[in-house]
Amino acid sequence: MSLLSVEDTVLMIIDMQGNLYESMQDKQFLSENVRKLVRGMQVFGIPVIVTEQIPEKLGPTIPPVASLLPDTRGIPKADFSCCGDEKIMKALKAADRRQVLLCGIEAHVCVYQTAIDLLGFGYEVHLVADAVSSRTVMNREIGIEKMRDEGAHLASTEMVLFELVRTAEDPNFREIFKIVK
């Protein structure tokens, strides 16, 4: 494993949607960290892929996240794993990045199955553990543990942002510091 690099990283936001989001544990903390990640990716110019599980039933991406990404449309899917959807995989291939940051919901279903499939395809998966949730704490914890056991690297929102900026002398440091404080 290597440190995250701006040139090789992509962020995948999984199913941060209305009805589903409303039933998540610690949803405010989740939303806040996903928003920090998005703002950080924008500072670095890192691509962001947004997915939506059956949006006609579960609703669109929540406004606090969608409002930060006015030019990014959520890619609808039915499969739990994002890798089961041709449009999502096409977007990932088009990004041409090997380090995939995962955040979103639910940790033990869609995020977990996506992580396992991405690892199988040879991607380096970085799970932003403070930016994933499930309806229950136990499901979240088990999902994170299984992803780590299978080879996903655990990180936190701040850890990811500071890993990408690397030095206080980076021109983006001040902007990243504003995001995390």
- Choosing from 36, 77, 85, 103, the catalytic residue is 77
From the list 82, 83, 103, 110, the catalytic residue is 110
- Distance between CA 30 and CA 107 in Å, rounded? 11
Radius of gyration (Cα) for the chain, nearest Å? 15
Token couple for 153: 């690297």
Residue 103 is encoded by which pair of tokens? 């955040």
Sheet holding 75-77, edge to edge: 75-77, 48-53, 9-14, 99-105, 124-133, 153-155
Query: Is residue 77 annotated as a catalytic residue, yes or no?
Result: yes
Residue pair 146/115 in contact by the 8 Å Cβ criterion: no
Decide if 110 is catalytic. Answer: yes
3-state helix, strand, coil in the chain (%, to 5): 50, 20, 30
Residue among 12, 24, 47, 38 nearest 121 (CA):
12
15, 85, 117, 130: the active-site residue:
15
Indicate the length of the chain as a whole number.
Answer: 181
> Which residues are part of the catalytic machinery?
15, 77, 110
